[in-house]
Amino acid sequence: MFTSTHSCACNFEFIPTEILAIIFQECVTLAHAQDGLMWCYHSCTRRCLLDWVCITHVCRRWRTIALSQPLLWSHLILLYPSWAKTMLARAKTAPLTISLGGEQGQSQLYAERLADMLHPEWRQEMLVLASTLDQVYLTEDQMQAFAQIENLQTKQNFNDPAIREEINRRTLELSETFRVDNLKKKEEMKAALKVHSKCVSKYGPLIQSFSSLTDGGTNVIDCLTFSSCRLTRLHLASAYSLEHLGKMDTLEELVLNQCLEWTTDRNMLGVPLGTSKKIHLPALQSLHIKDALYCATDFAAELKTTKPLRCLAIEDYDDDSRDMNVLSLFHPPEIAMSVREFVTLSTESPRTGAESSSTFPDHYCVLRAKSQWCPGSRSKLQLIAWRRETTEPSDIVTWEREGKIPHLPSVRPSTHSHASESVFYKTDPALHFYFPIVADPPVDSCTLNALRTAFSLHSVVFATIKVCGHWRLMDGPFELTRESARAFFAETASLRVLEVYKYSAARLVEVLTPYDGQCALASELEEIWFEEVDFAEETLTDALVLCVTARTASGCSLKKLVLRNCINIDLQELTTFTGLDVEAKTAQSEAAPQVWEIAGSSNQASTGLRGRGRGGRGRGRSTSKKTPARGRKKQQK
């Protein structure tokens, strides 16, 4: 029985069958995800069998519903032969996910059970080998049961958080996966798979059916025969596997995770510098490189594609232990030059000239910057771009508010779920760049100039600027200059939303205010978000009011102003505007933020702020005397 706060009871007997089936599936799935991994990578034990008992041994109706859902029994656990056969019978024709694991010495026994229970014509979605090495010593008859499996995935260190994140982000969309784990040496892999140079091998049908491979450093590619390879997805974390790239004419997606080697006399492919050897991948559509920027640039220079890339992502792995001399490569001019080379790979009609290739005329962009004021620290830049023919600026703003765009590494996570990583690529981005940057001097006042030098800002529709360190910038050489801020916003003609976190709000407000009939900078700007900004300066609130008034008079009015955890601001000063939504959440309050809508029309004077929480609009009563800022002001007195 469910009892609500209104004393209304709901009996389980009245819950529809379809709803109960969904609940059962979620219960079983969540029971196998307690370690933060997907179910297919969960190492099941005998206790896992109880997860089905709780829904089949409660009542007759529950049992009938559970037994009628084939997908509920499609994850096969080979702990007891009788139980596995029962699950196979209940799964009927549903695609199977098979967990083959257990204690040392039991793997061969499990493999023999597979040969007895699985029919060669059945289709297996996923085979998980996540225990000991002897699990892959399967006989020819046993391997024939997996002839329809198309994907292979290998990982070394599955407990590593980065690998978990990669799996959650990359394998959710895979329909079929074959996984081999804990194979650390190339010799062991060769012995395990027993792959020979002969075209007719007893493992040939299995190997040649792979279409997806994730090599987590196990050098599994060296063990496979690619005479008839049809790989379409390849994720590499092993530098020794790069030499096989030239054989992959059908490859559509390539991910390189810290596997590009670079020395003084040879490039990452082992080719002496000064020689020309292009890597031709005619079918490549998506490229994601997470490595040092100079290695990624070297690889891009060697890459040759038939068509422009649909998705290109370049992430510098940002190792703080790297020699500071190497970091000289990350000055804005070097980043700008690298970006131009990368953009050429994904441009339908490459424009002539280095300047035009980095202006992103065919894209809408999101720009994020995390600034460091401490000498010797590095700022971090992130640029994500979508093609204009498939995306509107409003779509990008919506994705950001829904948490579908990942944030900068090492930045305090937002209120959105970290599941945004897994849905990020569903938004179909065209470009994704992440670089650390060194300014000279490496202080916050240089960040905006560095952004202008490294990236073109004409296509940016959403910008986030954050400062790590003190509550606000120090005076003197660390203060944001008017010239750098004005030059920055002069190029942001498409900017819709600006987020400011612990930044110099006074300077930004001053620059965004049009004076004496001047044209407003960032004329498309609709929303400004201030977070943890101190409005203690006497004229800052007045300057903000003047900014909103002047932009409205110039025809570039704001639609929304958000103040999150800001201090020393009087919201009453904002009651003179009509049509501006003001959302305010004080730094002291832990409750849901209040949204204040300015009241006022031709028939009603602007008398105050209308408050509403997340649940809906208020009833229109004036709450001007109850604003958080007023309360703090009285306490200070």
pLDDT in tens, 237-261: 656 566 667 777 878 888 787 777 5
Output the pLDDT for position 507. Answer: 78
pLDDT tens profile 274-328: 444 678 888 888 888 888 777 787 788 788 888 888 888 888 765 544 443 333 3
Question: SS3 for 225?
Answer: coil
The mean per-residue pLDDT over the stretch 353-359 comes to 47
Mean pLDDT of 543-562: 85
CA dihedral (545, 548, 552, 556) in degrees, to 10, reads 160
- pLDDT above 90: percentage of residues in the chain: 1
Checking if the pLDDT of 616 tops 50, the result is no
Answer with the residue of higher pLDDT: 17 or 440. Answer: 17
**Does 49 score more than 50 pLDDT?**
yes
Give the number of other CB atoms < 10 A from CB of residue 571. 21
CA 470 remoteness from chain centre: 28
The per-residue pLDDT for 63 is: 87
Note the pLDDT of residue 450: 64
Tokens representing 370 are 């995390």
For residue 110, what pLDDT is reported?
56
Distance, in Å, from the CA atom of 279 to the CA atom of 244, rounded to the nearest integer, reads 10
Give the model's pLDDT for residue 100.
52
CA separation for the pair 17, 80 (Å, rounded): 30
* pLDDT given for residue 88 in this prediction: 78
Averaged pLDDT, 80-89: 76
Higher pLDDT, 414 or 577: 577
pTM assigned to the model: 0.59
Q: How far apart are CA 2 and CA 522, in angstroms?
A: 54
Residue 347: predicted pLDDT: 64
Decide if pLDDT at 473 tops 80. Answer: no
- CA contacts within 13 A on the Cβ side of 209: 15
Please report the pLDDT score of residue 39 as a whole number: 54
DSSP H or E stretch at residue 454: helix 447-454
Burial 283-307 (b: 16+ CB within 10 A, else e): ebbbbbbbbbbbbbbbbbebbebee
Spatial distance between the Cα atoms of 491 and 448, rounded to a whole number of angstroms = 11
Instruction: Give the residue from 306, 45, 38, 304 showing the smallest Cα distance to 164.
Output: 38
The region of weakest confidence among 83-97, 353-367, 391-405, 532-546 is 353-367
Contact 95, 150 (CB under 8 A): no
Comparing 345 with 141, the larger pLDDT belongs to 345
> How large is the average pLDDT for residues 88-98?
72
Q: Coil, helix or strand for 256?
A: strand
Q: Is the pLDDT of residue 412 over 70?
A: no
Asked if the model's pLDDT at residue 367 lies above 50, the reply is yes
Average pLDDT over the chain, rounded to whole?
Answer: 62
CA dihedral 405, 409, 413, 418 (to 10 degrees): 50
The whole-number pLDDT of residue 111 equals: 53
pLDDT of residue 299: 83
Question: Cis (ω within 30 of 0) for the bond into 332?
Answer: no
For residue range 502-511, what is the model confidence (pLDDT) as tens digits?
776 777 888 8
Dihedral angle computed from the Cα positions of residues 550, 556, 562 and 567, in that order, rounded to the nearest 10 degrees:
-20
Three state DSSP letters for 395-443: HHHHHHHCCCCCCCCCCCCCCCCCCHHHHHHHHCCCEEEEEEECCCCCC
> What is the pLDDT confidence band of residue 348, given thresholds at 50, 70 and 90?
low
- Interval 156-181: pLDDT, tens: 333 444 434 443 333 333 223 333 33
At 163, which helix (H) or strand (E)? helix 161-170
Is the pLDDT higher at 12 or at 612? 12
Euclidean distance between CA atoms 589 and 318, whole angstroms: 36
Concatenated DSSP letters of 282-351 = TT--EEEEES-HHHHHHHHHHEE-SS--SEEEEE----TTS-TTGGGGGSHHHHHHHHHHHHHHT-SSPP
pLDDT, mean of residues 480-492: 79
Tokens 């493992």 belong to which residue? Answer: 203
608: confidence class by pLDDT, cuts 50, 70, 90: very low
Average the pLDDT over each of 78-92, 210-224, 523-537 and give the range with the smallest value: 210-224
Residue 130 confidence class, pLDDT cut points 50, 70, 90: very low
Which span out of 43-57, 334-348, 481-495, 570-584 was modeled with the highest average pLDDT? 481-495
Mean pLDDT within 104-123: 52
